[in-house]
C-alpha cells in the first residue's frame, strides 16, 4: 500500500493523460466524418498520431537530459493541449494531421517521463507489484477513454476543450509531487537489426500487432458508423475491444509459458482471422452481436504483441533486453503508422468489411511466415516468463528487464 501511495501522483497523471489522448482518436474519426472528410483523410489522422508517437519516443530522453523530467512532461503536455484546442479553429484534414503528430508526441513523451521515474524508484523487491499496478492503471484509463466517446459530441469545441482540460490536468499530480526527480536516463540505441537477428518471427508479430491494433482503434469508429452504430454504441464497441484484450492476458500467458510460443502466435493469428470473419458476420445480427464480436477480436489480437516480444527475449542476453524492447516497439510503430491510412482507403473503396479483410490478410502473412520460421530453427530451450508488454515508450524495456529474467514474482 505504501508503494502504491508513493506512486499515486504518477498513476493519476497516467489516467488523466490516457483519458485525454485515448479519447482523441475515435473523436477525430467521428468528427472528420461529420465534417465530410474522406475516409482516407480520417485514416491519415490515425497514421499521423503514430508518426508523432515515434518522434516523442526518440526525443523525450534527450529533452529530459536538457530540461529535466517535470519540464519535459510540461512541454509534451502543452504540445498535446495545443493540438487538441486547435482542432475547431482550423478545420482541415492536413492541419488536423499535424495536430495529431503533436498529440502522438505528447503521449509518447509523457509516458517516457513517467516510466523513467518508475524505473528510478522501484526496487527488485517491488518491481513486480509496481508494474502490475501500472498495467491496471493504464488499461483502466484506456477503457475510460473509449467510454467517454459516448458523451462527447463530434466536431464540437466543447468536446475537444474537455479533452484538453484532462490533458492539462495530468500536469498537476506529476509536477506537484514531492518525489525527488530521478537521474536523467540514457536513451536506448535503436537497433532494428538486433531484433531481426534474434527473431524475425517476433518482428513480423509486432508489425502485425501494430497493424491490427492501430487499424481497429483508429478506423474502428468509421466501421461502426458504416454498420449503423450510434455514437454511444461506438464507444462500447471500442471499449469491448480493450476489455477483451485485458481479459486475454492471463490465459494467453499460461499458454505462452506452457507451449511453443511460435505455435501460440500462429494459433492466435488463426483465431484473429476467424474473429475478423465473425465480426463481419455480426454486423447484420444486431448491436449485441457487434459488441461481443469486438470483445472476441480484442481477446485474440491484443496479446500477440506480448507473445511476440516474449519469444524474441527468449533468444536475447541480459545486456540486449533494453535495446531489443526499443527495437520491437519501433517495428510496432511502423506497422501502426501504415495501418490507419491503408485500412481507411480500403473501406472507402470496398466498404466497411474491408477493415477486417485487411487485418485478416496481415494475419495470414504472419501464419505463413511463422510456419516457414519453424522449419529454419528450433525454439529456445530456456524461456523468459510471459508478461504483458505495454506499447508506451522506448524506456519500457528497462522496467520489464528484471521481470523477464525472473527477478521477482
pLDDT at 179: 67
pLDDT at 409: 42
Output the pTM of the full model: 0.89
Q: Which is nearest to 43 in space by CA: 362, 336, 350, 342?
A: 342
Cα–Cα distance for residue pair 306/309, rounded to 1 Å: 5
Chain-centroid distance, C-alpha 249: 15
Task: Work out the angle at residue 305's Cα, subtended by the Cα atoms of residues 300 and 307, and round it to the nearest 5 degrees.
Answer: 80
Secondary structure of residue 284 in the 3-state scheme? coil
Cα–Cα distance for residue pair 148/19, rounded to 1 Å: 8
Q: Which stretches of the chain drop beneath a pLDDT of 50?
A: 408-409
Show the beta-strand stretches assigned E in 52-113. Answer: none
| 152-207 pLDDT per residue, tens | 999 999 999 999 999 999 998 887 777 677 777 677 778 889 999 999 999 999 99
Q: DSSP string spanning 287-318?
A: HHHHHHHHHHHHHHHTTHHHHHHHHHHTT--G
Q: What is the DSSP letter of 186?
A: P
pLDDT at 375: 85
Q: Which three cell numbers stand for residue 17?
A: 493523460
Amino acid at each position: 500500500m505504501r508503494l502504491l501511495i508513493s506512486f499515486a501522483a504518477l498513476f493519476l497523471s497516467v489516467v488523466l493523460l490516457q483519458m485525454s489522448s485515448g479519447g482523441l482518436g475515435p473523436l477525430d474519426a467521428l468528427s472528420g466524418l461529420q465534417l465530410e472528410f474522406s475516409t482516407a483523410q480520417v485514416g491519415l489522422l490515425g497514421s499521423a498520431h503514430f508518426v508523432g508517437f515515434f518522434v516523442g519516443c526518440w526525443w523525450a530522453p534527450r529533452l529530459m537530459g536538457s530540461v529535466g523530467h517535470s519540464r519535459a512532461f510540461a512541454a509534451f503536455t502543452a504540445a498535446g493541449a495545443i493540438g487538441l484546442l486547435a482542432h475547431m479553429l482550423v478545420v482541415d484534414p492536413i492541419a488536423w494531421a499535424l495536430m495529431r503528430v503533436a498529440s502522438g508526441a505528447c503521449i509518447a513523451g509523457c509516458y517516457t517521463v513517467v516510466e523513467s521515474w518508475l524505473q528510478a524508484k522501484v526496487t527488485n523487491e517491488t518491481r513486480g507489484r509496481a508494474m502490475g499496478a501500472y498495467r491496471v492503471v493504464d488499461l483502466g484509463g484506456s477503457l475510460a477513454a473509449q467510454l467517454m466517446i459516448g458523451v462527447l459530441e463530434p466536431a464540437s469545441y466543447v468536446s475537444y476543450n474537455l479533452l484538453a482540460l484532462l490533458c492539462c490536468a495530468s500536469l498537476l499530480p506529476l509536477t506537484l509531487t514531492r518525489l525527488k526527480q530521478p537521474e536523467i536516463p540514457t536513451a536506448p540505441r535503436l537497433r532494428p537489426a538486433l531484433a531481426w537477428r534474434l527473431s524475425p518471427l517476433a518482428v513480423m508479430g509486432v508489425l502485425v500487432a501494430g497493424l491490427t491494433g492501430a487499424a481497429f482503434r483508429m478506423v474502428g469508429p468509421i466501421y461502426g458508423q458504416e454498420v449503423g452504430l450510434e455514437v454511444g454504441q461506438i464507444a462500447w464497441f471500442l471499449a469491448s475491444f480493450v476489455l477483451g484484450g485485458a481479459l486475454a492476458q492471463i490465459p494467453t500467458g499460461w499458454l505462452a509459458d506452457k507451449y511453443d510460443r511460435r505455435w501460440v502466435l500462429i494459433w492466435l493469428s488463426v483465431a484473429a482471422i476467424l474473429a475478423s470473419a465473425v465480426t463481419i458476420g455480426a454486423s447484420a445480427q444486431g448491436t449485441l452481436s457487434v459488441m461481443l464480436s469486438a470483445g472476441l477480436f480484442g481477446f485474440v489480437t491484443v496479446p500477440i504483441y506480448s507473445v511476440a516480444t516474449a519469444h524474441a527475449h527468449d533468444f536475447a542476453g541480459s545486456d540486449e533486453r533494453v535495446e531489443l524492447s526499443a527495437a520491437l516497439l519501433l517495428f510496432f510503430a511502423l506497422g501502426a503508422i501504415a495501418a490507419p491510412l491503408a485500412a481507411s482507403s480500403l473501406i472507402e473503396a470496398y466498404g466497411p468489411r474491408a477493415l477486417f479483410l485487411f487485418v485478416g490478410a496481415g494475419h495470414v502473412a504472419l501464419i505463413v511466415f511463422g510456419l516457414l520460421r519453424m522449419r529454419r530453427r528450433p525454439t529456445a530451450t530456456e524461456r523468459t516468463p510471459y508478461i504483458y508488454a505495454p506499447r508506451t515508450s522506448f524506456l519500457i524495456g528497462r522496467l520489464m528487464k528484471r521481470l523477464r529474467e525472473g527477478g521477482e514474482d
